[in-house]
Structure formats: C-alpha cells, structure tokens
C-alpha cells in the first residue's frame, strides 16, 4: 500500500510538473492567441477586445493561479450541470475538473476532449491489436526459422516497416484500399457502428504496421535466446510438444519485456497519433492537439497535455503491474 | 481572415499525386435541361470552421455556410456588386449620412417567426456589443452612436433607428462610400429572436437564408449539413435539398473523393493536380479560375535601415523578378506590381505598376549609397537582414526566391522560418522586422480594404500593426480619407489611381503577385460558379446526376499489380 501511495504521489507530481511547464511555455510563446482567434487581418481594436474577453490581458501568474484553482476544485454535488461556474466542469462527486474553454471553438475543453478521447482510445486499442498480432506472429515465425529465407524476409520487412514514416504508409494504404480498390473508406469516422469499424481499419493498420515492425524484432530476438534456454529444452525432454514449449514456455517469457513496451506505447497512442489522425480525418486527440497548437488555443493544448500525461503516467503504472503479474520472480521479490 | 494562410497551405502542396485523372461522372440530361430540384451538394476543404454565428465569424471558410444560413439587407452578387436582398428598397439621404431600408414583408426566419426592422436593429446591436467576440466590429464604427455603445456609454446604438415594422435607418457619423459594401458582409445580418440581444456561444444558428441548420447538422471538425429552407423568401429556390461540407480533409484525399463522386466539386488542388485538370480536355470545360482577391509582396519597414531610404525600397521593387515567383505555382499565381489584386474594385490596369528592371535596381542602390558591382560581387548594403517567413507555403519557398533576387543587388537576407503565429507577432511589431513577406486578402471587395488596412498611418501600432511597413505619408492619408467619403465613382477611382502611383513610387512594399484559386466540378453539377466574395455561388446550383457513387470494388477488375497501381477499367487515357 505504501509503495502504491508513493507511486501515486509521484504520478501526481509528474502531471503537475508537466501542466505547469506547459502552461508557462505556451504562455510565453511570441504568437498572440487573440490575434489567432480574430484572424490575421482583424483590426487591432477588435483583437484588443477579444484579448480582454479571453482574459489574456491579465499577468501570466494571475492566469496560472486562476487556471490551477479552477483545474481541480470542490463544488456542491448538487451543483446543476448547467450552472454558469460549472458548465464546463467534469464532476466526480464534489470534485470538479475544469479545463477551461477553447478559444477557437468557444466550448468547454472537457466537452471537446470527451468527444475526442473515446475515438483516440478506440484507435489506440485497434492499432495495438494490429501491432501485437503482426509483431508476435512474425517474430515467433522468424525466430523458429532463424537463418532461413523466411527469417531474412521477415527481418527485412520489419526494417522497411520501421523505416517508413506513417504518412507514407498511410497514404499508400489509403491510395490502395480506399482509392483504387475502394474496399474501405478513404477517411472519416462514419455514422454507424459498421462505418466506424470500416473506418478504423486503415488508420489502425497504418499505426499497427509501423509499430509491429519493432515488436517483430523484439519478439524474434527474445525467442531466439529463450528457445535455447535450459527450461525450454527440459520441457521438451519431459515430453512437452513443440507448440507447447514455444507458446507456454518460450513465448510467455518473451512477452515480459514486450508488456512493458506495449503499456508505454498504449499510453503514447492515447496521446494521439497526429499524422495518422490528420491523414484519415480520424476525430481524435492527435489531430485536435496539432490544430490547437497551430492556432495557439491554449486551453485545448493544456487539456490534451493533461490527458496525454495522465495516460502515460497511468501506462507506466500498468506496465509495472503487468510486469509483476507476468514474472513471478518480481512478485516474490 | 485566414485566407493568406489558406493560400499558403495550397502553395505548400506544390507536389501531388500524379495518378491519371478519372473520367468525369456524367449528367443525366443534356446541357439544355431545365433546373431540377433535389439532391445534396457535397464539398470538402482541408480547413475547418470555428463558428456559424455571423457575429463571431472570422475565417473565409465559414463565410460560405454563413452566407447560406443568413440573408442580409444587402448582399453581393456573383460579381461582387451589392444588391438589395432582404431590403425591398434602399434610400440614401442627399448628404450620404442616412440609409433607409424598407424590408420585404413576410420574410420568415428558419424558426417561422417574421423578420422585422426591430430584428435588424437587435441583430446589429448583438453583433457590435462590446461583449461580442466579433473580429470585424471596427468596420462599423462609422455608424452614429456605435463608439458610445461599444464603450458601454449607451444602451443602444443611436444611429440605428426603427421607423415601423419594415423600415430601419442607419445614420452615419460621416459619409462612407463603403457602407453598403460593409453591410453586405455577414456581421450585421439578422438573426432569429432565439439569438437574443447578446452573443452566446450556445446559440444554434438560425437566420433567414436559403438553407437552415437542423440539430445535429454540425459535427465539429468533420462535417456540416445544411438543409433547404422551405420558407425561403425567393420562391422556388434553392434547388438543392441540402449542402454538405466536409472539413479537415487531406487535399489528396479530396481528389480521391472527387473522382469517386463522394464530393461534387473541388477547390483544394495540389499544383500537379491543378495542371492535370487544366490540361485534360475532358475536365477543362468543368474548371474555372476564381477572381484574384489576394495579393502578396515584400513589406519593407520604413523606420528601419536600410528601408528608411526610399531608393533602397525602389531597388528592391525593381530587383524582384515576379516571374520567378510565378513558378512556385504557375497556374494560380498572377505576377503583378500593383497594390491591388486585378479583380478588386479600384484596380486600374492602365496605371503601370512596379516592375522588374535589374539595371534600374542597381541604379537605385547606387543612389542610396550602397552601389553594388555584380561582376565582382562587391558593395551593396553591408549588413545582413533578417527575413522572417512562416512555415508552409509561398512564404517559405518564396523567401528563397527573394533572397536570390536581392543578393544580385547586394542585399543579403538571413531567412528565419517560424510558425504562422510567431510570424504574425514578429512582423507586426514596431522596430522588429526590416523586411518580411506579407499578404492581404479582401475582407470586402473594395480598394479601401487594401489601401487603408496596409498603408494608412492610422493603421500603425507598436504591436499588432496593420501597416507593417510603418509607412507614413500625410498626402496618401488625405487621399484615402477623401476616397473613403467620395460617393462619385469616377472621382473615387481617380483618387485611388493617385494612391496607387504614390505607393508604386514610394514602395513601402514591393508588390509581387496575386493569387487565384482553380475550381473544378463534376458535369452533373450545374450553376456552381465561383463567387466574387464568398467561395461558391450555391444558391442557384442544381444537380442532375446520372449515377450514384462509384461502388466499392467496382473499379478494379484486373488485380494485377500494374492495374492496382496504374490504371483502372473505368479510366480512359488522359488526353
């Protein structure tokens, strides 16, 4: 329990640090958010008025204090959702989280993130599924056929996969399956469940193939070492089938280092896959964060940073937990 | 407002898919078929819209749907001329200080309530209220009582008076030749009573335009669907059942969608695709250039050396070979040496503009005291100048062209590429940027928008300056003020001609090029033409499509590698 509390305390500290650094970095950038809202050609008098409306005329420390005070605050559980001071809050009982209002969209950031986050999580999970399926399968095959043409082919393909940027791979997949073959939607999210499923294939493949290349090499290298270990040979000597020796003894151990990487990758994916989401018009956090950054939409930038940092911190905690579950030695120690 | 950036984005997309073009999708009936009702027009853009409230709209992309949702007292026709729209009659007082509009009776808002003169006043006050986020409030400060209202010294704008159910008068503090033009813009367009007296972020857009927004019609960041307003005051119009806009679409994907019949017209084309559509005989009749309403140039800070010397500015204006810049995007860039783009009211082609003349440029450098010898490459301005450009677009690539041209007269530029926001902050601050690329797209189709925003001494600010060259010329100020008030078109043109000559010779900018978009539509799309102020003229558009979308998997029947990556059975060889 003590360890858990200590880790949670560190996690909160990390998130607070990230939020604070981002706030000040974002605030001192030379570009003027009010100008970006008003447009490049707006007259200065209009830009000034908008700057005041957005509260950007206040000193940076005041803005920081207001932001942090509102970020997590207490409110009566009975506070109506549409109450003026709490309209943009996410309520966890009496604890309210207020991420502010987007300068650009003029809506609560929490609402915007609430729309985007599930879609990014869905894409992250789908991409991870592709990554794991391809990575583990091809890694195991390559390891078992070490030194053969198949192994060379798999290694070569993984090298190409890891070298090809997602925008090249994505455009190629879109061109082939969306434009030429017309099997899958070119982009978008669709309106029905079937649409969603079809629409997620290409972005998930784009992210998945890229990530799978690394997993392939990782699993292959682990499996080659593990297949030569005493306990795998002992298992075979005691009558375990080849398949059982591979799956239950070698692969299970190969998954231990992979699990850590998977958890961290999942955390990063939840932060949003900027290029892939933009290319496929997938309405997730990645596309949102890049737009917010370009438009100097501070509250949205802060919101995406908070979600991303929380996701990565959480992923680290999960990685540690999974490690304990997969490796009895860690549990015992 | 983000037009320059939008142009820049397209310019950046200099390369593109070289895949052969698919054949146009046929129309069901012949060219002489009568307009038909029905169908949904689908358009797409790489950009996104922020709002549909006329009181807050700040980007060109939103102009199109806002135009469809909200009718105005006056509007622009396809050629940019102002015509009465909701107004049945417009009377102007002899001194030009009062405009009285008599409304069409019986015009209904989308919610079924009648539009009256009181709604016109309420909508204008809602938009111009100091708590409104309107980025264009300054356009209307000439309305009598507007300054008191925006300073919260008055409850209402005294200069807008209601003279009956259908009569409203706008009183101006001083004569303004641009007033009707400004009124034809979106900010003051009447909004439904549900909008209330004050701006609210949560209001659902509702006006008296030909299309209306239904709940759920706007999926932010993805699409917007507007449906026909059955009670629109022009009988029989519009022809379309609906218009759908897709946003944030990659421009290569846009082309794929266009060929598949998933969108009906396309505007965001890569340079390669623009050339493809321009040169393909099947597509050529279906494409059209929009009027050029954006202009670009090199702004030289007249308060900073060496551009405080007019001879250096003249040298720069003469040293830039506009044809070099044209090659950045040959189909869309129109080289010019004028301060106005060719299709803006007030442009006069008969006045010679700045032009490339290398010998003259060297002579101007010599007169400035910075003689440069091109043979020995000695002389010139002795200090390196920072040239701040922004990522993406003409700015980034044009910077290299400008750097090379100016090096030939002994001016050495140090190019700094920054984000668009940083670029704006840096180049619009006093004593910060000696020379920078600048652009301007029309807010409204009139010369005053360009001249007054960019060159009036009143447009100078320490931060956020509009006049980036910090150019001060009392004579030009007087001419532009006179022109702003002058109601006689001929006299006004003569004043602007004079202004153009002053700017050409004083060269606060080296004017370089105007930009025009190229639009293509499918043959079954009729009466969809570029609009001089909004992007498209959609109100009269009708569809006559012979077939549905291209079914999935129907294109490739030969699954050979070459077929998949090269040609498909539906395709014909491009001519």
| Per-residue pLDDT tens listing for chain A (333 residues) | 677 788 888 888 988 999 999 999 988 888 889 988 888 888 888 999 999 999 999 999 999 999 999 898 888 766 655 566 777 788 888 888 899 999 989 899 999 999 999 999 999 999 999 999 999 999 999 998 888 999 999 888 888 877 778 888 899 999 999 988 889 999 988 888 999 999 999 999 999 988 888 899 899 999 999 888 888 888 888 888 888 888 888 888 888 888 888 888 887 787 768 889 989 999 888 888 888 988 889 999 999 999 888 888 888 888 777 777 777 776 666
Answer yes or no: is pLDDT of B343 > 80.
Answer: yes
The answer to whether residue B230 is domain-embedded is: no
The answer to whether residue B451 is domain-embedded is: yes
pLDDT of residue A7: 80
CB contact under 8 A, A181 and B555: yes
Answer yes or no: is pLDDT of B551 > 60.
Answer: no
Closest CB to B135: pick one of A39, A106, A294: A39
Domain extent for B140: 73-195
d(C-alpha A205, C-alpha A214), whole Å: 14
The answer to whether residue A227 is domain-embedded is: yes
- pLDDT tens-digit profile of A189-221? 888 899 999 999 999 999 998 888 889 989 999
- pLDDT tens-digit profile of B424-445? 999 999 999 999 999 999 999 9
pLDDT of residue A333: 61
CB contact under 8 A, B453 and A41: yes
Of B65, B42, B44, B64, give the one whose Cα is nearest residue B545: B42
The model carries a pTM of 0.86
What are the residues whose beta carbons fall under 8 Å from the beta carbon of A231, sequence distance 6 or more? A249
Closest CB to A47: pick one of B464, B555, B565: B464
d(C-alpha B443, C-alpha B109), whole Å: 26
Closest CB to A179: pick one of B256, B453, B466: B256
d(C-alpha A108, C-alpha A111), whole Å: 5
DSSP B227: E
CB contact under 8 A, A283 and B424: no
- CATH code of the domain in which B453 resides: 3.10.105.10
Closest chain B C-alpha to A80 CA, distance in angstroms: 17
Of the ranges A6-10, A225-229, B315-319, B325-329, the best mean pLDDT one = B315-319
- In chain A, how many domains are there? 1
Say how many C-beta atoms besides its own lie within 10 A of residue B88's C-beta.
13
Final residue before a domain boundary, out of B195, B220, B238: B195
- pLDDT tens-digit profile of B373-416? 999 999 999 999 999 998 776 778 899 999 999 999 999 999 99
Let me know if B71 is exposed, middle or buried by CB neighbors in 10 A (0-12, 13-18, 19+): buried
- CATH code of the domain in which B147 resides: 3.90.76.10
Q: Percent of chain B scored above 90 by pLDDT?
A: 79
The answer to whether residue A69 is domain-embedded is: no
Q: Is the dihedral of CA B79, B84, B90, B95 positive or negative?
A: negative
Residue numbers in A near B19 (CB within 8 A): 175, 179
Final residue before a domain boundary, out of B195, B212, B227: B195
Residue numbers in A near B465 (CB within 8 A): 44
CA angle centred on B351, ends B346 and B357, rounded to 5°: 130
- CATH code of the domain in which A291 resides: 1.10.3720.10
CB contact under 8 A, A30 and B565: no
Q: For residues B503 and B317, is the Cβ–Cβ distance under 8 A? A: no
> Rounded to 5 degrees, what are φ and ψ at A206?
-60, -50
The answer to whether residue B400 is domain-embedded is: yes
In terms of C-beta distances under 8 Å and separation of at least 24 residues, what long-range contacts does B89-98 make, across chains too? B90/B180, B95/B175, B96/B172, B96/B175, B96/B176, B96/B177, B96/B485, B96/B487, B97/B171, B97/B172, B97/B173, B97/B174, B97/B175, B98/B169, B98/B170, B98/B171, B98/B172
The answer to whether residue A27 is domain-embedded is: no
Same-domain check for residues B182 and B310: no
pLDDT of residue B574: 33
d(C-alpha B172, C-alpha B450), whole Å: 22
The answer to whether residue A30 is domain-embedded is: no
CB contact under 8 A, A179 and B461: no
Domain extent for A212: 110-332
Final residue before a domain boundary, out of B195, B227, B257: B195
Q: Which residue of B has its CA nearest to A46?
A: B135
Q: In angstroms, how far is the first alpha carbon of chain A from the final one?
A: 15
The whole-chain average pLDDT of chain B stands at 90
The answer to whether residue B94 is domain-embedded is: yes
- In chain B, how many domains are there? 2
CB contact under 8 A, B201 and A187: no
The answer to whether residue A12 is domain-embedded is: no
The answer to whether residue A288 is domain-embedded is: yes
CB contact under 8 A, A31 and B133: no
The answer to whether residue A20 is domain-embedded is: no
pLDDT of residue B5: 46
The answer to whether residue A129 is domain-embedded is: yes
Closest CB to A279: pick one of B131, B250, B443: B250
């Amino acid at each position: 329990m003590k360890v858990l509390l200590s880790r949670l305390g560190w996690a909160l500290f990390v998130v607070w640090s990230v939020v604070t650094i981002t706030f000040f970095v974002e605030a001192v950038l030379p570009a003027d958010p009010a100008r970006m809202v008003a447009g490049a050609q707006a007259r200065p008098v209009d830009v000034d008025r908008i700057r005041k409306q957005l509260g950007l005329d206040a000193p940076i420390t005041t803005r920081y204090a207001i932001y942090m005070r509102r970020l997590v605050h207490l409110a009566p559980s009975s506070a109506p959702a549409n109450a003026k001071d709490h309209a943009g809050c996410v309520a966890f009982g009496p604890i309210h989280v207020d991420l502010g209002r987007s300068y650009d969209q003029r809506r609560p950031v929490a609402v915007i993130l609430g729309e985007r986050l599930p879609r990014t999580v869905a894409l992250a999970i789908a991409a991870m599924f592709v990554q794991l399926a391809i990575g583990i399968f091809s890694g195991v095959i390559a390891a078992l056929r070490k030194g053969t043409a198949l192994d060379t082919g798999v290694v070569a393909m993984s090298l190409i996969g890891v070298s090809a940027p997602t925008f090249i791979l994505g455009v190629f997949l879109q061109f082939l399956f969306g434009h030429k073959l017309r099997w899958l939607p070119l982009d978008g999210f669709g309106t029905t469940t079937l649409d969603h499923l079809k629409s997620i294939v290409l972005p998930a493949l784009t992210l998945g193939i890229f990530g799978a290349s690394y997993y392939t090499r990782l699993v292959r290298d682990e499996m080659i070492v593990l297949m030569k270990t005493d306990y795998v040979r002992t298992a075979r000597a005691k009558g375990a089938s080849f398949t059982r020796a591979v799956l239950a003894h070698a692969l299970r151990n190969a998954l231990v280092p992979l699990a850590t990487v998977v958890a961290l990758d999942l955390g990063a994916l939840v932060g949003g896959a900027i290029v892939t989401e933009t290319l496929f018009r997938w309405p997730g956090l990645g596309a949102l964060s890049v737009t917010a950054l370009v438009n100097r939409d501070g509250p949205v930038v802060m919101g995406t940073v908070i979600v991303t940092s929380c996701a990565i911190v959480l992923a680290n905690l999960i990685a540690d937990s999974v490690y304990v579950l997969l490796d009895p030695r860690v549990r015992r120690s | 407002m983000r037009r320059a950036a939008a142009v820049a984005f397209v310019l950046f997309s200099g390369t593109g898919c070289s895949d052969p073009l698919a054949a146009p999708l046929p129309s069901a009936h012949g060219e002489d078929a009568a307009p038909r009702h029905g169908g949904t027009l689908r358009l797409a853009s790489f950009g996104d819209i922020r709002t549909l409230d006329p009181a807050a709209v700040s980007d060109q992309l939103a102009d199109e749907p806002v135009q469809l949702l909200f009718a105005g007292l006056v509007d622009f026709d396809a050629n940019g001329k102002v015509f009465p729209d909701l107004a049945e009659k417009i009377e102007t007082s002899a001194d030009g200080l009062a405009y009285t509009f008599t409304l069409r009776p019986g015009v209904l808002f989308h919610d079924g309530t009648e539009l009256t003169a009181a709604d016109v006043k309420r909508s204008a006050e809602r938009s111009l209220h100091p708590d409104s986020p309107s980025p264009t409030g300054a356009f209307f400060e000439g309305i009598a009582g507007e300054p008191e209202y925006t300073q919260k010294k008055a409850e209402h704008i005294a200069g807008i008076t209601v003279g009956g159910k259908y009569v409203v008068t706008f009183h101006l503090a001083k004569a303004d030749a641009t007033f009707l033009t400004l009124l034809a813009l979106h900010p003051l367009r009447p909004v439904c009573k549900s909008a209330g007296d004050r701006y609210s972020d949560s209001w659902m857009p509702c006006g008296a335009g030909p299309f209306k927004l239904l709940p759920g019609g706007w999926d932010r960041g993805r699409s917007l669907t507007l449906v026909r307003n059955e009670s629109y005051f022009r009988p029989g119009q519009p022809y379309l059942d609906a218009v759908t806009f897709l946003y944030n679409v990659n421009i290569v994907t846009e082309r794929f969608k266009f060929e598949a019949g998933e969108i009906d017209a396309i505007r965001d084309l890569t340079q390669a695709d623009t050339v493809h559509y321009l040169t393909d005989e099947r597509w050529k009749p279906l494409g059209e250039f929009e009027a050029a309403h954006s202009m670009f140039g090199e702004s030289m800070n007249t308060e900073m050396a060496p551009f405080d010397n007019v001879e250096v500015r003249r040298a720069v204006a003469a040293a830039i070979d506009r044809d070099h810049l044209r090659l950045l995007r040959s189909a869309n860039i129109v080289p010019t040496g004028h301060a106005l783009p060719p299709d803006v009211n007030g442009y006069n082609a008969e006045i010679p503009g700045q032009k490339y003349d290398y010998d003259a440029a060297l002579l101007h450098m010599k007169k400035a005291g910075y003689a440069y010898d091109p043979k020995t490459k000695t002389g010139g301005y002795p200090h390196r100048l920072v040239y701040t450009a922004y990522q993406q677009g003409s700015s980034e690539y044009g910077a290299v062209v400008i750097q090379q041209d100016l090096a030939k007269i002994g001016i050495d530029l140090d190019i700094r590429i920054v984000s668009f926001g940083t670029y704006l902050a840096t180049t619009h601050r006093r004593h910060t940027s000696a020379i920078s690329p600048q652009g301007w797209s029309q807010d409204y189709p009139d010369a005053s928008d360009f001249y007054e925003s960019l060159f009036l001494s009143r447009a100078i600010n320490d931060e956020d300056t509009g006049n980036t060259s910090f150019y001060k010329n009392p004579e030009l100020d007087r001419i532009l003020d006179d022109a702003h008030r002058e109601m006689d078109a001929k006299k006004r043109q003569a004043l602007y001609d004079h202004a153009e000559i002053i700017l050409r010779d004083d060269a606060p900018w080296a004017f370089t090029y105007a930009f025009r978009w190229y639009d293509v539509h499918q043959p079954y799309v009729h009466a969809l033409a570029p609009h001089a102020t909004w992007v498209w003229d959609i109100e009269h558009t009708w569809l006559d499509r012979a077939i549905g979308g291209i079914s999935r998997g129907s294109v490739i029947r030969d699954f050979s590698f070459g077929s998949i990556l090269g040609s498909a059975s539906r395709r014909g060889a491009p001519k």
